[in-house]
Structure 1
Amino acid sequence: MTELPSMPETLPTVVANEISLMSSREFWLSIVILCFGLVVILCQMFLLKSAKEKDGGNPDIATGIRLSVVSMIVVGALVFVASGYSQNQIGPAMGLFGTVAGYLIGQQSVRRE
């Protein structure tokens, strides 16, 4: 029979600082931007709720969704930029964000005609 190779006595350890996806500054800037986005979305929800109570009816749901989605797109774009991604990595995401925002805004102008 052949002998199995013995395991080394100490296994290599991975230091957390070696596998850093973002610097500390980029991380905290991204967290601040996400918190700002959360505050903006909460303020929009509050304003839509107060508009519903003030008007006595239902506000246009599509308008509320449109406002929230456009805000999320802006916050997402800011997070990508703050996270330190390169221009080649951000480009396709910005194109997708622009397409969605253009669709939502264009959909609003079609309804008004």
Structure 2
Amino acid sequence: MSQEYINQLKAEISVLTNETQQAAASVVANSDAMANGAYNDSLILSCVVVGFGVFVLLCITYLIQRNKKPDILLRPFGTILIVIGAVFLIVAGYSEKQIAPVIGLLGTIAGYILGKESKEKSETNSKPNPDKLSDNPGGIG
């Protein structure tokens, strides 16, 4: 091989190397811009979700002060706040491994809130009624 051919190959390699470096730099710049855009979108959505959660808390406070019966308001607003918390975690960009334990905890709290009233109803229904004991023909008294 001649020296001239080797020099020509070196020049072509150098041009390709420069083009590759420029292409890699543009890809990195585009990915940074896209990442910043996605970050901004998730930040805006997170702020909207938190703002809605604060609005719901303000509504709860107003209704509790007006009605003075927080037990009635606990179920719907507690459920709404749990959903807002879960949506915030998803929108904020946490991974599945990070969200899973928190979603389990929120589900447990929701089960407690929603199951509390049905347990109270079943306890009141299971208490014996003194009037029904006297109507029992086979019973004592």
Structure 1-normalised TM-score? 0.64
Distance 1:26 1:72 in 2: 19
Contact 1:41 1:71 (C-alpha < 8 Å) held by counterparts = no
Alpha-carbon distance in structure 2 between the residues aligned to 1:63 and 1:96: 23
2-structure distance, mates of 1:37, 1:85: 19
Match of residue 105 from structure 2: 96
1:100 CA displacement: 0.8
Q: Which has the higher contact order (CA 8 A, sep 6+)?
A: 1
Partners of 1:48 and 1:112 lie apart in 2 by 23
2:38 pairs with 1:37: no
CA distance, structure 1, for counterparts of residue 73 and residue 102 of structure 2? 23
Percentage identity across aligned positions?
A: 33
Q: State which drifts further: 96-105 or 36-45.
A: 36-45
**Structure 2 residue 118 is the aligned partner of structure 1 residue 109:** yes
Asked if the contact 1:66/1:104 (under 8 Å) is kept, the reply is: yes
| 1:11-45 Cα deviation digits (max 9, x unpaired) | xxxxxx9xx9x812111110110001111121222
Query: 1:19-34 counterparts in 2 under 5 A?
Result: 23-34=39-50
Unaligned segments of structure 1, at least 5 residues:
1-16, 53-57
Could you tell me how far apart the structure 1 residues matched to 2:48 and 2:102 are?
21
Count matched residues. 87
Provide the alpha-carbon RMSD of the alignment: 2.3
Tell me the residue number matched to 2:93. Answer: 84
Relative to the length of structure 2, the TM-score reads 0.53
> Could you say which residue in structure 2 is the equivalent of 1:49?
65
Q: Report how far residue 47 of structure 1 moved.
A: 2.6
Bigger radius of gyration: 2
2:53 partner amino acid: G
2:131 aligns to what?
A: none
